[in-house]
Amino acid sequence: MAQAYWQCYPWLVLLCACAWSYPEPKYLGREDVRNCSTSPERLPVTAVNTTMRLAALRQQMETWNLSAYIIPDTDAHMSEYIGKPDKRREWISGFTGSAGTAVVTMGKAAVWTDSRYWTQAERQMDCNWELHKEVSISSIVAWILAEVPDGQNVGFDPFLFSVDSWKNYDQGFQDSSRHLLSVTTNLVDVAWGSERPPVPSQPIYALPKEFTGSTWQEKVSAVRSYMVHHAKTPTGVLLSALDETACEWGFLNMGRSGSPKLPGPCNIQLFLKQQHIHQLLRAPKIIVCGNSEGKRAAVWGYRTRKPGSSKQVGLFNLRSSDIPYNPFFYSYALLTDSSIRLFVNKSRFSLETLQYLNTNCTLPMCVQLEDYSQVRDSVKAYASGDVKILIGVSYTTYGVYEVIPKEKLVTDTYSPVMLIKAVKNSKEQALLKSSHVRDAVAVIQYLVWLEKNVPKGTVDEFSGAEYIDELRRNENFSSGPSFETISASGLNAALAHYSPTKELHRKLSSDEMYLVDSGGQYWDGTTDITRTVHWGTPTAFQKEAYTRVLMGNIDLSRLVFPAATSGRVVEAFARRALWEVGLNYGHGTGHGIGNFLCVHEWPVGFQYNNIAMAKGMFTSIEPGYYHDGEFGIRLEDVALVVEAKTKYPGDYLTFELVSFVPYDRNLIDVRLLSPEQLQYLNRYYQTVRENVGPELQRRQLLEEFAWLERHTEPLSARAPHIISWTSLWVASALAILSWSS
């Protein structure tokens, strides 16, 4: 998925799904559609009445002696996606965009957001709100200084401010007589009252060891070793990001969202106590097998893939889905040289999971559970001793930072867990590759379905997005999509982060380009892939733009570079073919990706604040081009960083693609490709055949196998050769019969 430089995954402009759109430059200088100064009664029907909400908040501000209150758009863990209880700025303002900051004073209210959301904000906010078309903290501070009298207090929830954000606000107010006041009680929550969505309470379960690269005990030992060898020898590490405490390498191999689709049949491997069976059978989407006594149980099991071999698969069938598209649960962890404290809602654990965590002891490898709300007090108490606490400032909030004495604080940009999990071990690499093979099957099924149904006029952007999500859910070990599917036809694809809705979408047409950016969460990996296609006759410019985007993808994917090179140093290779003819794209070129965790996994990628590339990292490579009001192109693959084979000895790296879906031959102008690019592309197609072909054959997917054979035929400098469907059908049938025998 393409990331904006500010690292947000946006909710799209409300009306961009129609047959027209507002290109960003045209926003500048355009009048507010609300006409609040002349006709406030003629608001768009989509505007939300916030009068009572603001009154309730201002009552709380008066109680706390505040003249202004700042409301960011994040949660206490600086998450990219936030749960419903954390959508405070959305509730108070009515504006649902994913990026923006609100400020409320006793007489005014304002929202700051970027150009992606200006129209959306105008159509969702009532006339209680001003819209500021910029996002800098300095502009927010300047407005507050103009509205708040000298000597007054400006309040904020410290758990919603990163350390860096707090420093920027604090610096802005330093030369004024206004006081920036940390208020640990969130005043929006108080005003929201009983209407605020409840905090998630689903059970938290342990991920089976078959889907983890290391045990949690091994991971704890690795972090403690990091502490010992750190230059400032911290005695403890505070982990705040949810993918630090909840994810695959994060900390405890726990907290996956949704029940995966498991293959069957399965054999009984673990018999649960009867009372636990009854509890599990009440859970939705449970997988059950029959045991020898005819009883039903949720179990570990085996599934035979082919004669003579088996792979153990597991289902502990406890779920956690606190954050959309991410298998996380709200938590913090404080790991010291002699203890492990996990701050979480204790009631969400089963007896089995408590045993898994060794919670019944106090030894260095036993997890002590403490209430989630006690993290601030517990960190403060620990900091009162002879200790030094290491934090990664990128994901630590001021709420815990401010209780640690500065002389006892050790700060790095990222925590050791973030750095360690960025490099996958051999088992994690194999797991993630396996998930991409199954994911490729789903994407190929979708593309075949589109080829048959788009000409009939029966597919729209929304139905297409729903169908590809359904195909992924049918895959083994699936836990749903990894983000909201971007399904964009024609001019909507020119909006890099567009997603359709049930109410607002366009029909797919054989006469337009279509972009689909989608991904899945599987127990063995997270996927993210983008393909752009055209079923009719593309223009010469569309083919050139597509081919140059492909050239950029190839140039970066095949690049050989010295180990420890930063991604931002090589990022321009993905843009060079576009730059040569005066084209470009306005989003990042790639991001890290996790093993059944974040689809945008930091700190890997090609931006200025990403860490250097190292063997074992996974990153997306996703150049694009967006022609305003007409079409958009993006080609995204996930790649593994591997050692490069060079003529002379040296420590060099390159990329190995693990996305296995061919590009659209109809859009490739082979004449633009260099011999090296063409050779690389044909080698990639052979890899796709070798990895996905057998899986399609095993499943008896004749039509999809024929499609794969057709679309991975070697390309030559001449016009691409397309063999007939009939010959492909016969060839695929023979191949399957041969495989079956």
Rounded Cα distance between 702 and 731, Å, is: 10
Given a cut of 80, whether residue 129 has pLDDT beyond it is yes
The stretch 328-332 carries a mean pLDDT of 91
**pTM value > 0.95:** no
Q: What is the pLDDT of residues 81-113, one digit of tens each?
A: 899 999 999 999 999 988 899 999 999 999 999
359-387: average pLDDT: 96
The answer to whether residue 671 scores a pLDDT higher than 90 is yes
pLDDT for 498 equals 84
Query: Is the dihedral angle over the CA atoms 187, 188, 191, 197 positive or is it negative?
Result: negative
Question: Which amino acid, residue 238?
Answer: L
pLDDT at 322: 81
Longest alpha-carbon distance in the chain: 85
Of 17-26, 333-342, 556-565, 696-705, least confident by mean pLDDT is 17-26
- Cα torsion 377, 382, 385, 389 to 10°: value is -120
Q: Distance of CA 685 to CAs 362, 648, 682, Å?
A: 54, 28, 5
pLDDT at 665: 97
* 367 vs 369: CA distance, rounded Å: 6
Q: State pLDDT tens for residues 678-693.
A: 999 999 999 999 999 9
Residue 530 pLDDT > 60: yes
Tell me, what's the pLDDT at 731? 40
**Which letter does DSSP use for residue 177 in this model?**
S
- For residue 11, pLDDT over 50 is answered with no
d(CA 705, CA 692): 9
* Range 298-305 average pLDDT: 30
Identify the residue with better confidence: 102 or 608.
Answer: 102
Query: What pLDDT does 728 receive?
Result: 39
Q: Which of 559, 621, 595 is nearest to 3 (CA)?
A: 621
Q: What is the pLDDT of residue 534?
A: 98
Q: Residue range 543-556: average pLDDT?
A: 98
Q: What is the pLDDT of residue 31?
A: 57
DSSP 103-164: EEESS-EEEE--GGGHHHHHHHB-TT-EEES---HHHHHHHHHHHSPTT-EEEE-GGGSBHH
Most confident of 22-26, 415-419, 500-504, 640-644: 640-644
Q: Residue 429 to residues 9, 137, 287, 319, 648: CA-CA distances in angstroms? A: 26, 40, 27, 25, 27
Give me 652's structure tokens: 């060099």
Cβ atoms < 10 Å from Cβ of 407 = 6
- Contact between 148 and 154 under an 8 Å Cβ cutoff? The reply is yes
**Could you give the dihedral angle defined by the CA atoms of residues 80, 636, 520 and 347, in that order, rounded to the nearest 10 degrees?**
-20
At 399 the pLDDT is: 97
**40: confidence class by pLDDT, cuts 50, 70, 90:** low
pLDDT cut 90: percent of the chain above it: 69
Measure the CA–CA gap between 286 and 282, rounded to whole angstroms: 8
217-272: pLDDT as tens digits: 888 999 999 999 999 999 999 999 988 876 433 445 554 444 455 544 333 232 23
Identify the residue with better confidence: 250 or 432. 432
Distance CA(167)–CA(175), nearest Å, equals 14
Q: Residue 14 gets which letter from DSSP?
A: T
pLDDT of 4 > 70? The answer is no
Whether residue 619 has pLDDT greater than 80: yes
| CB proximity list for 303: less than 8 A, separation 6 or greater | 262, 263, 264, 265, 266, 310, 311, 313
Residues 333-355 have pLDDT tens digits of 999 999 999 999 999 998 988 99
Whether 462 has a pLDDT exceeding 60, the answer reads yes
Q: What are phi and psi of 627, to 5 degrees?
A: -95, 110
Give pLDDT, residue 17: 32
Q: How many CB atoms lie within 10 A of CB 737?
A: 10
d(CA 186, CA 276): 38
pLDDT at 311 over 80: no
Q: What is the mean pLDDT of residues 300-324?
A: 37
Report the C-alpha gap between 515 and 631 in whole angstroms. Answer: 9
Rounded to whole angstroms, the Cα distance separating 118 from 181 reads 30
Q: Is 296 exposed, middle or buried (0-12, 13-18, 19+ CB in 10 A)?
A: middle
Mean pLDDT to the nearest integer, 611-620: 97
Q: 43-87 pLDDT, tens per residue? A: 778 899 999 999 999 999 999 999 999 999 999 999 988 999 999
Structure letter (DSSP) for residue 609: T
Q: Token pair of 622, please?
A: 């996703």
Q: What is the mean pLDDT of residues 525-532?
A: 97
- Listing DSSP states for 191-234 in one string gives HHGGGSPPPP---B-BPPGGG-SS-HHHHHHHHHHHHHHSTT--
- Residue 3: its pLDDT value, please? 61
Confidence of residue 210 (pLDDT cuts 50, 70, 90): confident
The CA distances from residue 228 to 220, 334, 367, 536, 600, in Å, are: 13, 16, 20, 62, 30
253: left (phi over 0), alpha (psi -120 to 50) or beta: left
Residues 6+ apart with CB under 8 A from 531: 443, 447, 515, 516, 635, 661, 663, 664
- Whether 556 shows a pLDDT value over 70: the answer reads yes
In 3D space, the residue among 517, 525, 528 whose CA is nearest the CA of residue 485 turns out to be: 517
- Condensed to tens digits (0 to 9), the pLDDT of residues 138-173 reads 999 999 999 999 999 999 999 999 999 999 999 999
| pLDDT value of residue 245 | 77
* Residue 439, token pair as written in the block: 């994911």
Query: Would you list the DSSP string of 422-457?
Result: TS--HHHHHHHHHHHHHHHHHHHHHHHHHHHHGGGT
Dihedral, CA of residue 698, residue 704, residue 710 and residue 715, to nearest 10: -80
* pLDDT-wise least confident of 191-195, 212-216, 542-546: 212-216
pLDDT at 35: 66
Which SS3 state, helix, strand or coil, does residue 270 take? coil
Per-residue pLDDT at 291: 33
User: 290 pLDDT exceeds 60?
Assistant: no
